Structure 1
Amino acid sequence: MDIFDFYRDKTKRSDLKDIFKDASQKHPDGLGEVFIEKDIWVTELLRLLFDEGLLEGKAVAFKGGTALSKRWKAIERFSEDIDLSIHWHDMLNGDKPEAEAWAETTMSNSQNKKFREAQTKRLEEWTLGFFERLKARLDAYGIEGLQANYLNSEKVEVYYPIVAEQTGSHYHLGPVLLEFGARNRGKPTEPSQLTTYLSEIEEYEEALSLPVAEDVLVFDPSYIIWEKLTALHQFCTSEKSPKAARLARHWYDVDCMMCKEIVDPLGNHQAINDVVEMKSARWSVKGVDFSLASTGKLCLIPDEPLRTEIAQDFVEMVEGGMYFGKPDDFSTILDRLSSTEKMINESLFLLSNTKT
C-alpha cells in the first residue's frame, strides 16, 4: 500500500499512527516516531525537487546536516530541514563566463553589495516561481493539510498532517523547512539515491510503497566539512557572539565527520581554497578573518560564556530526542575537536609556509 494513501483516507490514519509507533520500537537506532514520519516527507520532497524537476534545471546542491544524515549516515541525529544551495552563477542574467563574473562582482565592496542586492531579487523571483510549482504539485496529492507556505526568498515551509504521537520537544519543528541560498556554490555534487528511515525496517519496506529519491545531487563532502569548519571559526571569532540556540549541532556534526572518517579535511585543497574564498567574498562577518582558517589559525573551540551556552543547547537537543541513542558529552566532543583543530592547523601552517 502506498504510504500516502494512509494520509488521503482519514479513517486509515490511526493505522498509520500504529505503524509509526511500532517502527520506532523496531528501528535499529530507536528513532522516535515523530521523526520517522517527518523523514517520509523529507525524502518525498527531495524526490520532487530532484527527480521531478521542480528545480528547473538549476545546479543545486543538497547539503547540511540532513545530507550528512541521509547520504552518509555521518551523524546520529535527526536533521529535519532541507538545505539547498543554488550555484550563484546559474542565477545571473547574461552570458559572462563564471570566472569573469566572479572577478567583476568581487572586485570591490560596492560591486559585492551590488551583486548581493541583485542576487536577492533574482532569488526572490525564482523562489516565488518554485513555490507556485511546489504548491500545485502538493495539491495533486489530495491530502488535506498538506500545503506549502512561502516565508521569504530563502525559506519555504511544507506542512503535512502529523499522525505520529508528539513528544512535546521544542527542538522538533513541525513543518519541513526548505532553505535556499544563491550566493554560494551549488557544485561540485554527486548523484545519490536516498531512502526513508522506515524502509530500514524490512517488514515495512516489503509491505509499503515508500518514497525513494533516485537522483539527489549531494554536495561534495570536502566542501561540506569546510563550510562547517569555517562556520565554527566564525562562531568562535566573531566580534558579536552568536545566539547559542540550535548551534551545538554544528560542533557535533564536524566531530562525527572526523570520527567516522567521512572525508579527510586536508585531502582536497581546492575545496579549502574555494570555501575560504567564497566566505571571505560573500559572507564577511565583522571580526572574522576566514583566511586564517586555511593558513594554520583555524579556531574551533569557543570561549566563555558562549561555550557554556552551547553546551546547554546540546543538553536540550539530547533531552529533545534529536539523537539516535546517547551521544558523548559536549566536553568530550570539544576535546576531540581541539585535537582536530591542532592537526589541521599544523598541516596548513606548514603548507602555507612552504608556499611562501
Structure 2
Amino acid sequence: MPEDAYLKLSRRERFELLDAGSRAAGLAPAILEKDYWVCRTLDVLFALPDLGQHLVFKGGTSLSKVFRLIERFSEDIDVSFHRDFLGFGADRDPEAASGKEQVRRIDALRDACTACIRESLFPALKAKLIDELPSDHDWSIEIDAQDAQTILFHFPQAGSVGLSYIQPSVRIELGARSDHWPEARHEIRSILGESFGLPLGLATVQALAAERTFWEKATLLHAECHRDPSQSMPARYARHYHDLARLAMSPVAPAAIADVDLRKRVVVHKTVYFRSKWARYDLAEPSTFRLVPPKERFAELERTMNPCGRCSSLRGRRCRKCSGHWPRSKRRFAACRPD
C-alpha cells in the first residue's frame, strides 16, 4: 500500500481501518486518527521547500513520537524556526546584546517570526494540503485568532467516536526563541501504520535531542517552584511534571545530568529569552536546583494530572506506571536533581 493510501480511502473505509487499528493497538479510534494527522502534518511541514529545513520539532510530542519516552497524548506540535533563518544570527543574535537592546531584538525576532508564519509558512502549508487532500475531504486550516504564532489544522474526520480530551484538530505552535542544539534527523510513523506494518503517516523530522528537552522542562519547573504562591500555575503545566517524571525513569536523565555544559547553556538561554524576575535561574545549580514545588501546589497538581483531561495517557487511564500520582513524581524528581 503506498504511503498516501489512507488519503485515497473513502470516509467509510477510513472509519473501518481506524476501527480495526483500534482493536490491534488497544487504543481509541479517535487517538489513532489524530496521531495519523499529527504525523502527516509533520511530514508536510518538514518537506516545505525553503522552509522545512529551518524548522525543529521539540517538546512533549517529540518525546512521544521520536524518542518513545512517554505515552502521554499531546494535542499540539511544538515547532521552532532557526533564528538565523529569520535574520537574527551572529551580530543580530539577542544573546550578543544586553539591556534594552536585547529586549528590542527579542521583540523584533517575535515580529519577524509572526510575519514569516503569516506571509510564508501558512500559505505554503495550506497550498500543500490543498494539493494532497482529496477535494471531498472536509477540512480547514487557520491561524489562531488568539495567537498569531499558532496554526490550527482541522483535519477530515472519518466519523470515529470522539473522546472529550481529543480535539479533531492539530495545533501547530510555532516560535523562534528556542535554542536548537543539539538536534538530529529522525524518522517517525503513525500508530496506525505500526499496527498493520504499513507505511501510513511516515515523516522525516529534525528534532531537538531528548537530553535538551530534559533540561528545558527541568528549568521550567525550577522556575515554577519560585512563583509567588498567590499566583495560579499556568494551564496544562501538569504535563511537564508528567514528562519529566517519565524522563527520570529513562537513560536520558543520567546522560543529561552528566552534561554540565548543556545545563548551563539552557540556563543562559532561559535567562535571555524567558526572562523573569522571580524564576531564580541563578539558583539552577547543583544543590539549589528545585523540581518539587511548594506543598501548597500539590493538590492542584494532583487534580490536573488526569489522563482524561489535558494531561493524558495514550490509553485513556490514570497512568500508574509513570507519574499518574503526584507523590510518585516527587520521588522521581528527587532522583534526577543535578546534585
For normalisation by structure 2, the TM-score amounts to 0.87
Q: Secondary structure at the match of 2:152?
A: strand
Alignment match, 2:237 = 247
Deviation at 1:224, TM superposition (A): 0.6
Any conservation in 1 of the 2:188–2:202 contact (CA below 8 Å)? yes
CA positional deviation for 1:156: 0.7
Matching of residue 182 in structure 1 with residue 180 in structure 2: no
2:188 aligned residue (194, 198, 207):
194
Q: Count the aligned residue pairs.
A: 328
Cα distance change on mapping 1:164 and 1:245 into 2, 3 Å:
farther
Match of 1:17 among 12, 15, 18: 15
**Aligned counterparts of 1:251 and 1:297: Cα–Cα separation in 2:** 19
Q: Percent identical across equivalent pairs?
A: 23
Contact 1:293 1:299 in 2 (8 A): yes
Partner of 2:46: 50
1:1-356 aligned within 5 A: 1=1, 12-27=10-25, 30-53=26-49, 55-58=51-54, 60-92=55-87, 97=90, 101-105=93-97, 107-108=98-99, 110-128=100-118, 129-140=120-131, 141-143=133-135, 144-151=137-144, 152-169=147-164, 171-201=165-195, 204-206=196-198, 209-214=199-204, 216-239=205-228, 241-243=231-233, 245-263=235-253, 264-315=255-306, 317=308, 322-324=313-315, 326-328=318-320, 329-340=324-335, 343-344=337-338, 346=339
Shift of 1:72: 1.4
TM score, norm. by length of structure 1: 0.83
Residues 73 and 126 (structure 1), Cα distance of their counterparts in 2 relative to 1, 3 Å cut: same
RMSD over aligned CA atoms reads 2.5
Query: How far apart in 2 are the matches of 1:127 and 1:74?
Result: 30
Equivalent position amino acid for 1:234 in 2 = A
SS in 2 for 1:266: helix
1:66-94 deviations in Å (ceiling 9; x for gaps): 1000111100221231101223333226x
* Amino acid of the structure 1 residue aligned with 2:42: L
1:103 CA displacement: 4.5
Deviation at 1:164, TM superposition (A): 4.6
Shift of 1:5: 5.5
Q: Following TM superposition, by how much is the alpha carbon of 1:255 offset from its aligned partner in structure 2, in angstroms?
A: 1.0
CA deviations on 1:139-181 (whole Å, 9 max, x unpaired) are: 1123432332112432011111122533441x22331011111
8 A Cα contact 1:195 1:211, kept in partner: yes
Question: Once the two structures are superposed, what CA deviation does each residue of 1:279-300 show, in whole Å capped at 9, x if it has no partner?
Answer: 1111012311112113431221
Partner deviation per Cα, 1:206-243 (whole Å, 9 max, x = no partner): 4xx512113x1110222110000011112221226343
**Residues 39 and 4 (structure 1 numbering): CA distance in 2 closer, same or farther, change over 3 Å?**
same
Q: CA deviation at 1:121?
A: 1.4
Secondary structure of the structure 2 residue equivalent to 1:61 = strand
Q: Using the alignment, how far apart are the partners of 1:300 and 1:317 within structure 2?
A: 25
Structure 1 residues 66 and 321: CA distance shift in structure 2, 3 A:
closer
1:333 is paired with a residue of what secondary structure?
A: helix
